[in-house]
Each structure stands twice: as C-alpha cells, then as structure tokens.
Structure 1
C-alpha cells in the first residue's frame, strides 16, 4: 500500500514541537525555564550586592577615624529657603554659618588636629587666613569704572569660589560685575556634603542669576561661567529655562571641564553608603577619609556627593533631551568650552558627542587641550585614552568650531591651535607662542581654571606662608603616605591659561563697539 507524500508529512511531529509536545506546552515550558533563570539571576545579584555591602561594612571598621570635619554638619538654608529669600539673605546666612562653624570647630579640635597641614587649625600653613581673604565664601567683584556687564561664575564639586577667582578678576578688568556664589555644602567642612545636594546647588545658581539680571537691568550682557560640576549646573540652568519656554537670561556660556558625563560608579555610589545606616559603620558613608591640607577644596569625599553629581548629569541629559524634542535648542546661548583630552573625572568625549554634537548653529566652540605628543613621551601615553583626539578634527563639517591645542609635531614642543570652523572642511593652524612644558604629559580635570602663577596651585613661588600644592614634589617608597601619590603628582595648573583667558576675553563685548573684543 502506497502512502502519499502529504500523509507522510502529516504523520511527522511538528519541527517546533519536539517529542510530540503541543506548541502551547512547549511555550509554557520555555517561559517556566526563563522564569527560573530570572529568579536565579536575581538571587545571584542580591547575593553579590549583599557580599559587597558586607565587605564595605567591614572596611568601614578599618582605617582612619572620623574627625570633627567629618561629623560637624553646618546649618545651611534649604533649597526652598534659598529660592524664597534670594541673594542678599543667602550671603548673610552664609556669614552667620561660617562664624558658628568656626566656633564649633575650634572647640572640637584635639591636640593631634593642631598640625601645620590642617586647614581647620588657624595658625597652620593650610589655613584660608593665610591668603588674607577667605575665598571659601561667596564673593562679588565690582569694576572700577562703568559697569559693562555681569558674570556669574560657578565652582565645582568639593571645591569653593576660590577656583573662580582668576576668571572673576578677568571679568572685573573688562568692566563686568563678577558674582561667584558658594554652592551649599562647600567651602566649610566635608561633612556638609552629606546633607547638601543638587537641589540646594541649583537654588544657589538661580538666585545668583536673579542678582545678575537685576544688575544687568535688561541693558547689559550676562555671562554664565561654570567649572566641572558647576558647568553642569550652569548648563542645566539654561536648559531648564529653555524647556519651560522662558526668556533666555544668558548671552554667553563659558564651560571649563564640563561634567556632562561621570563614570558609571557614581550612578550606584549610594549602595556603598548603605552600611552607614548603622552607627558602627558610619565611615562607609565616605569614599575617602583624608587629611584636609587644602584650604579651598575638600580631600575627603562622601558617598552622597558622588551620587548627587551623577544625578546632576542625569537631570541635565533629561532637560537637554526635552529641549531638543521641543525644537528649542535655538534658545541655547553660544557656548565656549575648554576640555582636556584626558580627564579622569568626567567623560571628555561626552563633551563632544552628548553636548556639542546636539547644538544648533549658534556660534559655539569647543577647545580641546591635547596631550604632549613629543616623541620621547608618546610611547608612554595610553592609545585608548588619547588617540580619539587625533581624529577629532576629521569627519563631516560640524555646526560648531572645534579647536585642538597641542604640540606642533612629535619633535617640536611649540604649541599650535588647530581649528576647524563651523561648517568648514579646512583646518587653520595658529602658532600660540607657547611651549608644552617638558615635564607635563597632559592637562587634568582640575587644572584648567588656574594659571601657573596661582599662589596655591601654580608652579611659581607666591611669597605667602602656605603649602604650594602645585609645586609639591615628594619622593619615597610606595604605600607610605595616607594620600595617593597620584593626587600629589596630578597637574593642578593650566600652562595654557593665558591662551584660554584670551579666548574668553574675545567673547566679552568691547567698550567701543558693544561687540566681542579685548579689554580697554
């Protein structure tokens, strides 16, 4: 008896249902297997997190003990109070807070805290008093003549208004009122950053901008200058106004080492502080517990500060996406930004891809400071970290000007600026008249705002009775210091600061024409 081909095919089990199982039974089995795998994966993740938290708790019982600057939390206004009361009230509350904190700190210091390198010991070499003015506080610089504009300058994370001092003076010399607000939680004690965060920081930026608008009175240009986390806060201020459809209150943005993207750890930094819920493990609330020998910047770093810095960048990315979706990027003022090609704190390439590549044709420019590519140093440089800059000027035309500042060639240390204008294919090369220092292989995230003659971070003697952090050179064996040797060798000043200052000055309206120009 002959069986037809159709009958033979019908008698075979379906290819997608092995062992004769109906398709629905197979699907249920597959879903059950996936569910079991998901449960096992979730359990594994929970076990790994518990193990890491347990290890973190154990490590919190080791190392240095918490000192008064890790436990005394200043009493600062809330974000709501800052926004409601405004700039004069904020500065007055700041003065009261500093006086109160100073009294509490002096009564809390023990004999071992009274050292020549403790910023909280008044006679020390690290005391802010050694500078004749406490640059940890908010300040305003007034021009000597007629006011030609207003600039608001916002410092970075763990920093203080000191880092904006040189640029504030630059603006003052150009006839601008320079307003440098202290971000809440900064300039006092590291413990302050266990409470203050992005909401308070944004409120402080907003009231400083309110003061700038009051002084400008709709007649004078307003510049907003931000450094690192302060650059992210400045850009967020602009983006949120654009997102809400409000009138632009900034004529020019200037960003230094802008924190557009931070490393992945900051996103989950909050987990590292979980054991601090129990008093025994209070030290787990800190990523670093270090001596405080810098008069204007914290060395100790709390977990919460890392988490808040990530949330600032997350808020910024969300606001930028919203502005782009509403097709309001044309409301963003021109941006002049400066960024080191290598940066261990923020994502340098993200400044290109996540910020500048999203802008419209509004006259913006990004200046990248390249590594020292002299033949003797080049073999020591990491290609993964540095090669991207070689290709930055290539590709299709951009909507902004891109400038790369670096060595003329691998056997010539003279510094040139290679620029590709917005929409252009060609590259212009300008000799800057500077030379790449032989002992410097790159700039750093922290270096950009400070000139070589900065009394604290520069490499030239200041004559002050202070510790010159920019020229400290200590040598010895590894693992003998309580601070990392990397932190002591990290470049703390910008050898190309004069070039940067000239580029910023060119964006300041001249007295004669009312347009960009040089100082009178």
Structure 2
C-alpha cells in the first residue's frame, strides 16, 4: 500500500512538473516576436515513399519547383520590416543565395574530366546544406570520382521545412543519391559515403541497411565528420516542448530557437521537430549497431574513417567511441581526434578530465582500430603533431604535420571540421575570390553588449578547421587505396 501511495505521488509530481514546463513554454512563446514567413512556409518536398519511386532527375525537378515556390511565397511576400541586409530571404540582401554564381543550397553533381573511376555520395548535416561538403567533393572529382551531393529534404530552403520532415525522408533521399551515384559511375567501381554530422548517421544507417538488403550497393569506404552517433538527452524529449504549438497563439513553442537568418547556407532557427527527428534517428542507429554487433554482422561493414573534435557541443564524442568504434571488427577503420589547444596560453582556462582527456575517453590499447590524436607537440608550443597508435598495437608513433594551432583558437568545434581556413564564408582567413555577403569566420568580436542582432556566443564558435589540409590528405589516402580494391568486399555488389 505504501508503495502504491509513493508511486501515486511520484506520478502527480511528474505531471505537475510537466505542466509547469509546458506552461513556461507557452508563456515564453506568447511573449516572443512573431514568426517570419520563412518559419511558417513549408515547402512541398517529396515523401519517403515518393523518393523511393523517384530518380535524380525527378528529384531535381521537384527541388527547382520548391525554390520557385520559395521566391513567390516568401521572398516576394516579405514585410518592409523584413527587407533588411541581414535577411537571406530578401532579394536585395548581399546574403541572398539567388545572387550567387552558384546556389550551394541546391543538390549538385561534380563530374570528373574523364570516365568516372568511382563515385562518392556526400551527406550534409542538420539545418545545413550541400555547401558544407563541396571542398571534399572537389577533391574526389580530382581523383576521377563523380561526386553526388544531395540537398536533404527540409534543408537549404526555409527553416519551416524542418517542422514537418521525418527521418525516413532523409534515409530515402540517401538511397536515391546512391542510386544516382551508381548509375553515373557504373557497376564494379568503388562507392564511398561521406557524412557530416547528421549525414554521418545517415551514412551509417545506409551501410547497415545494405548489410541486410542485397539490392543496396554497399560502400567500399565510409568517411564520417563529426558524426551524429549520439546526441544530448535533451533532444530525446524535445517533442514534448512543442505541444503548446497546437494552439495558434503559442506557435513559437514549435521552435527551440528563432533567430535572424543571416547565414546564406545554413539555418539559424531550429524547430522542435528537427531535434526530435535527429533523436529518433540517433537512437535507432545505436540500436541497430548493438543488434548487428550481437549477431556478428558488423564484419560486413567497410572501413570507417572518422574525424571528431574532442570537444563538441552538438554530438557526443563518447558515443562515437562506445557505440560505434568499440563494436567494429578489425577492418582497417580509424578514429582521428582533434584535441584542444593545450598551449600554456590557454592551459589555465581549459577544462580537464572526463571526455576532454583522450586517455580517459579511449579504451586502453591495443584496439581493433587505429587511433590518431592531433594535438600540441609540447605544452608550450602551438605546433601540432599526430600521435598514432596502429590497430592491434600499443606503441605510439608521432608524425609532425607542419601545422599550427592559431594563437587565438582554444579548440575546434562541431561545425568547424569540413571547412578550410580560407573558406569564403566560415574561414579565419577567407578567400576573397568568392563573396557570399558576409565573412562569418573572420569576425573579430569586440564591442558592447546589445549591438549585435544575435548573441556573441553564436559568433565566437570556431567555424573552420586549421588542420583541414591534414583531413583532406587522409581522405585522399582512402581514395587512392580504393583504386586497387579491398579484400573482404563483395565487388559484385558495388
């Protein structure tokens, strides 16, 4: 009887707590600024079932229609107050993607000069666009690969597109891109998957699906960049936060963040549904990995090369180690970790211990996979080295990279890894040959509070990778190795 009473009170308190949270969400939503048309407009994307029946040409036709629809329903309907330079949807803004020589929000294909020797499918991250992987796509093209970079449903248009999308739509789009890559490169040629952030989760989901479905061509190599193998516990319950939005007066409750849209190739606003779908995908992926490992089917996976910052506010570095790499067979996979800048200049201000300590993050060697830590050569030097422990060994090798940590940078970040330092939008030293209306990575913030349209914390996040040449070289090694094939892969299925 006492246990029943205790349970009753626990349920009552839980219900009251949930009510208080939802009431607070409703109150804040009611007081928030009204949503813009880029929040309320929902593009007419293909569903997962329609994507399964479509091809690349059909997808591009729908995509083109979406951007025409966007012009009519959003850009031409803006209120005078929204026609400002900081709004990417204002056609008079320097940020307006329609004014660029190429709108990198759209899906693209890079064909090599001659017949393709292989194909790569590139999958961008949540709220992102194909822009984020264009530099890697170009390197693949230089090596004779055809590069297929798809704009995933809900992305590249308006943030409102993420309010209704399902993770199944993203997986169906991934399969469509693979079908096109295989069609262009032809049978018997290598297939690579490159996934950034949530695109990494989609690449791994596809690879697991290909183990179970012989009709899906399996990749010969997978490259993951800041992959979304695990995310924060908050996203698991994010769907509850959007409940007040069923009432029109509390429509803002469907959004975790509503911010000015000044980035031409990435959303700043973030809907609840996006967090919920990424959580569903991440949790499904972890269950699939665990089940496949238990059944001994991970031996069919290709080698996986992962690049990850030790410190990552968006995805869990621990999950990459424990949920993915701890389960992989000895198949030539590698985990590359970018350390904090542990020079004397930042030393006293850095967090230490826990997952920020590589020695505690990684299991003791020997490991079934190769590990590389890109870190300071010495505590008082900005020069970085690669500390490498090959798979199955315990002895560390140190490689000098000829690179340095910038003096003002204390760490990389989730969003930094796929962008070189000279990226025209995100780079610390942007290339002026291209102009996207703003140099986000080169902003040096000094001033008074309240002068900026967004919080300074959003702009100080590291947005480019000073070690990108190393990342690109390591990817290139995998491109070259595919030319001679790899044992253990059924090439008839490629």
| TM-score interval (norm. to shorter) | over 0.9
State how 1:30-45 maps to structure 2 within 5 Å.
Answer: 32-45=1-14
The aligned counterpart of 1:469 is 440
State how 1:303-342 maps to structure 2 within 5 Å.
Answer: 303-342=272-311
Q: Does 1:140 align with 2:81?
A: no
Aligned counterparts of 1:189 and 1:282: Cα–Cα separation in 2: 17
Q: Does 1:431 align with 2:406?
A: no
Match of 1:145, SS? coil
Aligned counterparts of 1:99 and 1:222: Cα–Cα separation in 2: 33
Aligned counterparts of 1:285 and 1:243: Cα–Cα separation in 2: 36
The aligned counterpart of 2:474 is 503
1:389 Cα offset (Å)? 1.4
Aligned counterparts of 2:31 and 2:427: Cα–Cα separation in 1: 35
Number of residue pairs aligned between Structure 1 and Structure 2: 485
Aligned counterparts of 2:462 and 2:255: Cα–Cα separation in 1: 25
Aligned counterparts of 2:250 and 2:114: Cα–Cα separation in 1: 56
The aligned counterpart of 1:78 is 47
Please give the per-residue CA displacement for 1:339-393, whole angstroms capped at 9, x wherever unaligned.
Answer: 0000000011211111111100110000000000101211111114664214456
Work out whether residues 355 and 361 of structure 2, in 8 Å CA contact, stay in contact via their aligned partners in 1.
Answer: no
Aligned counterparts of 2:167 and 2:340: Cα–Cα separation in 1: 33
Q: 5+ unaligned residues in a row in structure 1: which ranges?
A: 1-31
If asked which structure has higher relative contact order (CA below 8 Å, sep 6+), I would say 2
Q: Does 1:120 align with 2:89?
A: yes
Q: 5+ unaligned residues in a row in structure 2: which ranges?
A: 488-494
Change (3 A) 1:288 1:497: same
Aligned counterparts of 1:354 and 1:95: Cα–Cα separation in 2: 39
Q: Does 1:419 align with 2:388?
A: yes
TM-score (ref. length: structure 1): 0.90
**2:57 maps to which of 69, 81, 88:** 88
**2:30 maps to which of 30, 50, 61:** 61
State how 1:219-258 maps to structure 2 within 5 Å.
Answer: 219-244=188-213, 249-258=218-227
Please give the per-residue CA displacement for 1:242-269, whole angstroms capped at 9, x wherever unaligned.
Answer: 2456665100000000001100100000
Work out whether residues 264 and 436 of structure 2, in 8 Å CA contact, stay in contact via their aligned partners in 1.
Answer: no
The aligned counterpart of 2:454 is 483
Change (3 A) 1:362 1:461: closer
1:462 Cα offset (Å)? 3.1
Aligned counterparts of 1:278 and 1:343: Cα–Cα separation in 2: 35
State how 1:275-424 maps to structure 2 within 5 Å.
Answer: 275-384=244-353, 387-392=356-361, 395-424=364-393
**2:174 maps to which of 192, 201, 205:** 205
Two-structure CA RMSD over aligned residues (Å): 1.8
Match of 1:507, SS? helix
The aligned counterpart of 1:162 is 131
Work out whether residues 87 and 211 of structure 1, in 8 Å CA contact, stay in contact via their aligned partners in 2.
Answer: yes
Work out whether residues 190 and 482 of structure 2, in 8 Å CA contact, stay in contact via their aligned partners in 1.
Answer: no
Aligned counterparts of 2:486 and 2:214: Cα–Cα separation in 1: 27
Aligned counterparts of 1:443 and 1:112: Cα–Cα separation in 2: 36
The aligned counterpart of 2:491 is none
Please give the per-residue CA displacement for 1:158-199, whole angstroms capped at 9, x wherever unaligned.
Answer: 000010111111111111000001100000000000011201
Please give the per-residue CA displacement for 1:266-309, whole angstroms capped at 9, x wherever unaligned.
Answer: 00001110000100100000011110000000000000000111
